[in-house]
Amino acid sequence: MGSCTKFFRCLLLLLVMIYGFSPPAAAGIKAIVSIMPQKFFLEQLAGDLVEVVVMVPPGASPHTYEPRPSQMMALHAAKVYFTIGVEFEKAWLERFRQLNKHLVLVDTSQGIEKMPVDGKTKDGGQEQGVNRYLDPHIWLSPRLVMRISRTMAASLISLDPEHQRLYQQRLIAWENKLEQLDEALYQATRPMQNHPYFLVFHPSWGYFARDYGLRQLAVEQHGSEPGPRSLVKLIDRSRQLGIKIIFVHPQYQGNSDRVLARALNGKVVKIDPLATDWLDSLKNLARNLTEVYR
């Protein structure tokens, strides 16, 4: 932590020497987001009117990622940072504010009540059934993405009133796509209502599950693969629950997914919660669910 703080102070001094205390003027809006799905949402709303820098790149974890010097340079020139409540922001947001005191912070999770993650406390452990760890994965619910997008659009209009009508028109078009996706997912999950559980390795899909009357069951234990004994218990429980589908990250390197799929005669679906093309990823999920439960 000491070396990280020293590096940050040196970078801050360097940027002040280069730019002075005011961000450089730029055409359009330079925006910062934490994760790739946010970039996708902004592009639906603003097209090329906004230049977007993503702090956590594809394949990286929002829990552990540290920004590169080039990203810090981009942040110094940015006008707005759209936050969403991921772990990365808790560690770095205050430092970003020191780096760019003119930076507008927009909390796109405002007004959204966070759900607890089953069985986890704030530090990731267990505490007599008390759950203090709130699930940040609000972007995996199309219904919540509609609210996130409205917050983004309102902020874009405030920052760039000249293009208000365009932002409003693009928001309407984007909301229509979200409604169509929501309907497709609703139809795809209807056959699951008698057996609403599905397996996930990391419990990222709580809001998605809530929207469509489903329940996620996590495979990982304390962030790791289950041992043989735990895996046998999980298979037994999954059979009782009638589980037929397992969600895994594309980067997943283990073999528990194949063991589970064989034992349950189920299907492994690779889906990235941080997908670059958020809409296509969720459409593909709807297609997979329809195929498994038709």
Using alpha carbons, list the distances in angstroms from residue 36 to 7, 61, 257, 273, 280. Answer: 26, 11, 25, 10, 13
Please give the pLDDT value at position 199: 97
Whether 2-181 and 192-293 share one fold: the answer is yes
Whether the predicted pLDDT of 282 surpasses 70: yes
pLDDT in tens, 170-226: 999 999 999 999 999 999 999 999 999 999 998 999 999 999 999 999 998 777 888
Please give the pLDDT value at position 6: 52
* Cα 130-202-192 angle, rounded to 5 deg: 90
Mean pLDDT within 264-288: 96
Mean pLDDT within 15-22: 45
Q: What are the residue boundaries of the structural domains of the chain, listed by start? A: 2-181, 192-293
Mean pLDDT of the residues in the chain: 88
Quote the strand ranges of the chain, DSSP E.
29-33, 50-54, 80-83, 104-107, 197-200, 215-218, 245-248, 267-270
The band of 294, judged by pLDDT with boundaries at 50, 70 and 90, is confident
d(CA 41, CA 47): 10
* pTM: predicted TM-score of the whole model, two decimal places: 0.86
Per the model's pLDDT, the better-predicted residue between 95 and 38 turns out to be 38
Please give the pLDDT value at position 131: 44
The band of 20, judged by pLDDT with boundaries at 50, 70 and 90, is very low
Mean pLDDT within 49-66: 91
pLDDT in tens, 106-136: 999 999 999 998 644 344 343 344 445 899 9
Please give the pLDDT value at position 63: 83
CATH number for domain 192-293, candidates 3.40.50.1980, 3.40.190.10, 3.40.50.300, 3.30.70.20: 3.40.50.1980
Mean pLDDT within 92-99: 91
Whether the predicted pLDDT of 28 surpasses 90: no
The band of 4, judged by pLDDT with boundaries at 50, 70 and 90, is low
Please give the pLDDT value at position 118: 65
- CATH code that applies to domain 2-181: 3.40.50.1980
